[in-house]
Structure 1
Amino acid sequence: MYASSKLPRTSGLFISALLGGVIFTSCASSHQSANKALPPMAADSAGNPASAPTRENSISQKAQASPIARSRPQLIKKAAMSLTVNSVDQTVDAVSQIINQQQGDLIGLKQQQPNNDNPRYTATIQLRIPENLLESTLEQLAKLGTVESRNITAEDVGDRLVDFQARLTNLQKTEANLQKIMARAGSVRDVLSVAQELSNVRETIEQINAQLKSLQNQVVYSTITLNLEAAVSSTSSQPAFGLQVQETWNNSTHSLRAFSVGLLKLGIWLIVYSPYLLIFAALVYGFRRWRRTHSPRLTQAPESTSSE
């Protein structure tokens, strides 16, 4: 019995030691990477470390000798443009051809016919273009009509990408260490505990990986929102005669249908409440007859005739 009670305690100590080793290893690796980032201190002829000013001077001399290579900024670019065109339908077809030429994608298309609030024919197109073709695409789109407004916004996500990549690397190392621990675990309880932790780590890896791919995709492809508006002439304020007749016919038929439905509903209500209406009519009729028979004028009429 002593051996059986000692085995779980030993396996628990073994798992704790392995987890501590994983944490110590990750801390040591981060400390070594931090030390590698700093240049070593120079020593004088006697073997003593150099003073701080000498070290700073050496660093500044190295910086002047070899300039630091800056990495390319990771920008998410979004552009918006408003055009006034002669024909919205023809412009939409031309935009589709430009998208195919620039190897882009059509994200959304919304067209709005003229109405009382807005007599102009408008359309909104959202497209996605490779980032290196953004300027050329905007130039081609500007040729389709008169440019009313144009703006480009950029967001630098380089720090977020580096952070996601660092977190992903650390989590992958943790996943590998947990797999080693699970292979060495003895009891079922320890295996289940490590498996649960491994599942959480893998879920976090998938989430960070999805966010990283989404950011990278937004950096590679830029988004353009194109607003199209048809030019309105002086005679186009009123709709055509055929459209007016059709609109009047539609409104009249709709009104007739609504009136017929209303009458039908009223008849149904009257049928349902007809017993109560009959009772109310009988009460009114009885009250009027009672009032006629007991009216003071009728009772006083015979008395006046007898006295004469």
Structure 2
Amino acid sequence: MKTQLKTNSRPHQPHPNQPNNSTTRFAVAAFLTLSSAIALPSCAANSPSSAGGGATSSSSRENQIVASAPQSSPAPVTRQDAQPKTSAVSKTAPPETPATTPQLIKKAELSVVVKSIDTSTKSVTEIVKKQQGDILGFQNQKPPDSSIRQTATLEIRVPQAKLETTLDALAKLGSVQNRGLTAEDVTTQLVDNDARLRNLRKSEEVVLKIMERSGSVGDVLKAAQELSNIRESIERIDAELKSLRNQVAYSTISLTLEAAVSAQQDPEPSLGLRAQETWGKATHSVGELTLGLFGLGIWMLAYSPYFLLIAAAVYGVVRFKKQHSVPKIQEPKPPQ
């Protein structure tokens, strides 16, 4: 029985290549506990001293097994911990460069039918002022007759961020007949002009350094000419960049306002008013004719000497012709 206790209480050494986990430790401890529970009562019946020594040896061996087991975390937990580390490493990779925001030049067109052109024009002015914009142009066309609607056109400029808000506010003035929006992408032009501008500024610095060095007059003149060309290109590209950025920052709106009904003409004058207007026009015409004839008489009086000379000359020519055109008297023939 003593031999059986020693055989059962011998600790099981795990293979070095096998993983030590909590399941293995639990199995070993359970096996030793069951073995001790079976062996100790039998030994106690034969020899008390042997029972005490066997219990002590079993307890000490169990402690040795537990102590000799490596204190490592369970394998499944270790695998789960390892995977987040890999994902963490992948997250630390440098992010991709974000795409450049498109630079758009936006132009909108809006046509609205309103009840009153004058009232709507005032409302448009208030809306544009509220949106921090400007009115660049205004035309109010009054129709020649009642068959044509009165229209007004306005050219508006507002910040691009407030374009949609402004269009919505203007659309509430009446009934929208037409609404359109066009956009032109100038991102490439801006990027190219920026790159060209940087290169030209670098070239300018190089030419300035060359001019600072001692050299012949010809070299200095050539460098000065090159510097002038570079600066001219810089000014031109800089102006283009400012113009493009201004067009991107501010959008334009072409607004057309149409009256809901045709423009009202002045009421037709009455018969008495017409007669009075006709009499006034007739007297005015007579007065103009009288003044004209009076003026003509003055002109004729001023040129009368010339008229008299011309008349005398004409009279003399006619008299001369009459004297020389008297027919000759034929002599009568004698009777045969």
Q: For 1:71 and 1:280, how far apart are their aligned partners in 2?
A: 94
Match of 2:166? 137
Cα pair distance change 1:141/1:193, threshold 3 Å: same
Q: Could you say if the C-alpha distance between residues 277 and 124 of structure 1 is closer, same or farther in structure 2, counting changes exceeding 3 Å?
A: farther
1:192 aligned partner: 221
Quote the Cα distance in structure 2 between the aligned partners of 1:229 and 1:268. 57
Match of 2:12 in 1: none
| Consecutive unaligned residues in structure 1, runs of 5 or more | 1-65, 304-308
Match for residue 127 of structure 1?
156
95, 112, 115: which is aligned to 1:83? Answer: 112
For these two proteins, the number of residue pairs brought into alignment is 228
Match of 1:38 in 2: none
Post-superposition Cα deviations, 1:49-81, rounded to whole Å, max 9, x if no partner, equal xxxxxxxxxxxxxxxxx8874322221111112
Tell me the CA shift for residue 222 of structure 1.
0.5
| Separation (CA, whole Å) in 2 of partners of 1:261 and 1:192 | 77
Q: Give secondary structure in 1 for the equivalent of 2:255.
A: strand
* Counterpart AA for 2:138: L
Bigger CA radius of gyration: 2
**Shift in CA distance, 186/125, structure 1 to aligned 2, threshold 3 Å:** same
Cα distance in 2 for partners of 1:158, 1:278 equals 88
- Equivalent in 126, 133, 147 of residue 104 of structure 1: 133
Q: Which SS does the other structure have where 1:137 is aligned?
A: helix
Query: Cα deviation per residue 1:97-146 (whole Å; 9 max; x = unaligned)?
Result: 11111111111122233335985433221111111211121111111122
1:152 match: secondary structure: strand
- The 2-side partners of 1:185 and 1:145 are apart by 74
In structure 2, which of residues 255, 266, 280 is the aligned counterpart of residue 239 of structure 1?
266
Q: Which runs of 5+ in 2 are unaligned?
A: 1-94, 332-336
Give RMSD over aligned pairs. 3.9
SS at match of 1:224: strand
Which residue identity is paired with 1:204? S
The structure-2 alpha-carbon separation of the partners of 1:83 and 1:193, relative to structure 1 and needing over 3 Å to count, comes to same
After superposition, residues 1-308 of structure 1 pair within 5 angstroms as: 69-115=98-144, 119-233=148-262, 236=264, 238-241=265-268, 277-290=307-320
Q: Match of 1:109, SS?
A: strand
Counting aligned pairs with the same residue, the percent is: 50
The structure-2 alpha-carbon separation of the partners of 1:117 and 1:135, relative to structure 1 and needing over 3 Å to count, comes to: same
Residues in 1 aligned to 2:102 and 2:120: alpha-carbon distance in whole angstroms: 34
Following the alignment from structure 1 to structure 2, what is the Cα–Cα distance between the partners of residues 77 and 227?
18
CA displacement 1:189-233 (0-9 Å, x = unmatched): 322321221122112101100101100110111101112222334
The two structures have a TM-score, normalised by structure 2, of 0.56
The letter for the 2-side match of 1:281 is: A
In structure 1, the partner of 2:16 is none
TM-superposition CA deviations, 1:280-307 (whole Å, max 9, x none): 43343334444555666xx699x9xxxx
Residue identity opposite 1:155 in structure 2: E
Give 1:187 deviation, angstroms.
3.2
Instruction: Identify which range, 187-196 or 166-175, moves more after superposition.
Output: 187-196
The residue type equivalent to 1:127 in the other structure is I
Number of the residue aligned with 2:48: none
Paired AA for residue 106 in structure 1: I
Aligned-partner SS, 1:232: coil
